Every structure is written in structure tokens, then in C-alpha cells.
Amino acid sequence: MLDERALIRLCRQGDQRSFEQLVALKRDKAIRVAFNIVGDEDDAKDVAQQAFIRLWGAIRGYDESMRFDPWFFKIVVNLAIDLYRRNQKRLQTIAESSTAPPEAGGSSLDAGPSVPAADVVFMRRELRGIFNRLAAQLGPAQRAVFTLKEIEGVETDEIASILGIRESTVRNHLMQARRILREGLRRWYPEYAKDFTR
């Protein structure tokens, strides 16, 4: 496989095979970023697909002196935020309809390394559900900033570039998101709150 810069250069010339390789290179992260914003796997896959369709139409205009990821993930994040906003009323209704945490099924994150694989999958699914329920309380920009910074490890200046906001605004959104998530954990999931004390 060619390196990323060479792939992008060929994509800008209309080479479909190179574009398929670029999609394969970026697909998992695009779906993951979208999922952490929209909270639904099928929606996340749709967002990623739309982002790649837009990318194909826009890549000829990409300035190679810029870093590619912030440029591309701005497309992903904007599409995810748009979808999240369209679904926000539904998500808020779901979040408000339940004031008690879902049954944990007796699982515990303190189970240790001997936990069977099926239990690990269940625990991950449980944590994903907890995150989605709590994240439904975040605004779209807070959710995007939290996803990019805390889950994807993107630097603050890059997030500012992706979202088209100032770095101080990124830090403010992140601070607010952490506070809301921390308060939600304490209220609905106190057994997990001790692990998220930052």
C-alpha cells in the first residue's frame, strides 16, 4: 500500500483504487468518531459513508500543504453533528423517560483478567450504553469535543481546526462535557463514578 500522501495525490487525480485504499485506511476511525457523536452504530456507518462520498467530490480541492485528518474529519464531525441535531429530540425523550439506571445484569468491572470473553463484551456494551445515555445530555459541540479529545486523543488545536472554533472554546466545551458526564455518573452510576474523578 502507498503512503497516505501518495494515496491522496492519486485520489486528487481521480484514481478510484487509491480512493478505496484511503477509505480502508480511514473507515474505522470515521465510524468511531461518528458513533461517539450520534450514539448509534447504523447512523455512524451512514455518516461515514456520506463523509466518504463528500470526500470523493471534494478531494480535488484539498490543499496538500494542510494536514489531511483535520480536513477530512471536519466533514465527518459536521455530518455527525447535523444528524445528532436531527435526532436530538428523540434522544432527549429517551433520556428523560428513564430516571433509574438500566439493570447491570450483575456484572462488575472489577471482575479481573479471568472474566470470560462474553462477559467482557457485555461489560463493554454496558459502558457504551452508559456513555450514550449520559452523552445525550451534552450539546452537539460538547459531544464532538469530548469524543475527539478524550476518545480519539486529538490535540486541542486540531479540534479547533476541525470544528472551526477557538482553542479556548474547545477547552470550555471539554470542561462542560466532563462536568455533565461526571454529574451524570454520580447520579445514575455511582459505582463507576470513582473511576472518573478528573
pLDDT in tens, 50-104: 999 999 999 999 999 999 999 999 999 999 999 988 877 665 566 565 544 444 3
Per-domain residue ranges of the chain = 4-193
Q: What's the rounded Cα separation, in Å, for the pair 141 and 41?
A: 19
d(Cα 6, Cα 189) in Å, to the nearest integer?
A: 48
| Whether the Cβ atoms of residue 68 and residue 76 lie closer than 8 Å to each other | no
* Residues 6+ away with beta carbon under 8 Å from 36: 131, 135, 143, 146, 147, 151, 152
The CATH code belonging to domain 4-193 is 1.10.1740.10
Q: Which residue has the higher pLDDT, 26 or 40?
A: 26
Q: What average pLDDT does the structure give for the chain?
A: 83
Q: Locate cell 485528518: which residue?
A: 69
Confidence of residue 114 (pLDDT cuts 50, 70, 90): very low
More confident residue, 81 or 131: 81
pLDDT digits (tens, 9 = 90+) for 167-180: 999 999 999 999 99
